Amino acid sequence: MLLKRVKAKNIKDSRSDWTIEVSVNGCKASSPSGKSKGKYETPSFRKSLNWNIKILNSLNFPNINISSFNDILKVESFLKRKFKLKNAKQFGANTLFALESAVLKALAKEKNIQLFQLFPKPKKIPVPVGNAIGGGLHSHNKNKPIFQEFLLIPKEKKFKDNIKVMDSIYQQLKKQVQTNEKNDEGAWQTPLNNEQVLKLLSQQKNIRVGIDAAASSFYNNKYYNYRNKQLNTAAQVSYIHSLIKQYNLFYIEDPLQEEDFQGFAKVMHSPKHLIVGDDLTATQISRLKKAIKTKSINAMIIKPNQNGSLIELKQIFDICKKHKIKTILSHRSGETMDNALADLAVGFGADFIKCGIATKWREVKLKRLVEIEKSLK
């Protein structure tokens, strides 16, 4: 497949912020945009969104023939030569991801196969991780939990049954927190504090409970700042341990700030609990290797537009599998209607997928995974 027609334009994400959509040979792909950004993320665009769009609309990809997933290396090599980049990611993570995703969609269409079938032996369906109640930077109410996400992780065998469990509990929680307000990710907004929300979730049946503390967002001057207390690192580790024990937390994401590999290592509880790096690792190979060396995590959030290169994403998945690090392919708070995240989760063999529970931008990914599950029977 030759790259004959490459076009780009700006579109609005679920937060009504501008992001990029790229079309390759008539196949469209778009990139989400994050609000809670890690310090080590790849910049979204090279100079600006409009600059990237202008460049793509004027750029010719001469005689680049794509016949397999690995051939997107040709696209990256071309961009590096054309713009004298050390790494194709410097072209902008959002732009590069949307471009490479569109290339793969066009290749799948030409081969008359589904997107996930471009990957070898794609058979694994991930477990959904759903954001049910929100706080932190994703929520807009004045009084809110300090932690950013309170998560549901179902344990049914079939993906469609997991979706039913999450949706049922999500609707029950609406009545229990007495709200109609949703945050950026479709989670219920509430004035409850961390412990009150966790108590509520721990009472639900047929579900495992998780948190995304997003601790960097409330860390300042060497303290973690809560509503009525400040905790140093040792006290924060002790606090997280107490929450794990009291509420039987299965999933603990970013319990400490993004520089504290040693603190993460101290939080490591047992193999039964996932200590998840997000801002800590920022979907970067160098950060993942450091986390492995320091034994800081046993699970990792992987966000395509946090890196940009699907080639590097594959390497990250391979490294995680080698070191028995569980993988969670994740959406962003500002999402689009592109459902490719579902195909990538199956293709890369992700253990979990984190793409919310409600709103059309999340549901399109969940529905796509139900379709894939049916097709694999």
Question: Greatest CA span in the chain, whole angstroms?
Answer: 62
Question: What is the rounded CA–CA span in Å between residue 74 and residue 2?
Answer: 11
Question: What is the rounded CA–CA span in Å between residue 261 and residue 297?
Answer: 9
Question: What is the rounded CA–CA span in Å between residue 3 and residue 150?
Answer: 43
CB atoms within 10 A of CB 160: 15
C-alpha R_g of the chain: 20
Q: Strand 127-134 and strand 149-153: pairing?
A: antiparallel
Residue positions annotated with a catalytic role: 185, 303
**Cα four-point dihedral sign 15, 17, 22, 27:** positive
Question: What is the rounded CA–CA span in Å between residue 58 and residue 56?
Answer: 5
Q: Which amino acid is at 74?
A: K
Question: What is the rounded CA–CA span in Å between residue 150 and residue 87?
Answer: 36
3-state secondary structure of 286: helix
- How far CA 257 is from CA of 215, 237, 245, in Å, comes to 5, 11, 21
Please return the burial class of 12, using the count of CB atoms within 10 Å of its CB with bins 0-12, 13-18 and 19+. exposed
